[in-house]
Amino acid sequence: MPYLPAGLPLPQPTDADAPFWEAARRHELVVQRCTECGTFRHSPQPCCYNCQSFNYEWVKIKGNGVIFSYTNVVHPVHPALKDRVPFNVVLVELPEAGNVRIVGNLVDTPFEDLYVGMPVEVTFDDMDEGTTLPQWKRAS
């Protein structure tokens, strides 16, 4: 069961991030890296903020991260979440990829146990036939 219910908006891939979502479908986490200067970036962009190159690659990472910050959403703002509050949202820093940060949910841990600095690892929620979301669980 995915952490969040069906009916939430799901991503519409674009030129800049389609490979990210295709990798997630294969249960792989990839991060965009400039092939000119090696700078990682997220969310995906067509151009490197450091050297302005349009050349980049997608680097597959193991998916070990650290909680950078978090919230617990109690007030639902989307109809699909009406009966699914509270839920957490986490911002995960990825030391494997230049400390870029990525948004997700910590799927296996009660909010009370969440803390900044908590080690986490990637997991995947298959939302429908076309979409998989990278997610996070407590590091084993």
Using CB under 8 A as the criterion, which residues of the chain lie in contact with another protein when the complex forms? 4, 8-14, 16-17, 41-44, 49, 68-75, 77-78, 81, 86-87, 89, 91, 100-105, 111, 116, 127, 131, 133
Instruction: For the beta carbon of residue 103, count every other beta carbon within 10 angstroms.
Output: 13
Is residue 96 within 8 A of residue 61, CB to CB? The reply is: yes
Kindly state the smallest distance separating residue 18's Cβ from another protein, in Å. 10
Minimum distance from residue 43 beta carbon to another protein (Å): 4
Closer residue to another protein in complex, CB, 35/43: 43
Share of the chain residues as helix, strand and coil, in percent rounded to the nearest 5: 10, 40, 50
Residue 134 structure tokens: 């990278």
Of the pair 5, 138, the CB lying nearest another protein is at 5
Q: From the CB of 85, what's the least distance to another protein, in Å?
A: 9
Q: Which residue, 30 or 42, has its beta carbon nearer to another protein?
A: 42
Nearest 10 degrees: CA dihedral of 65, 32, 10, 87?
20
Nearest approach in angstroms of CB 17 to another protein is 7
Q: Residues 39, 49: contact at Cβ < 8 Å?
A: yes
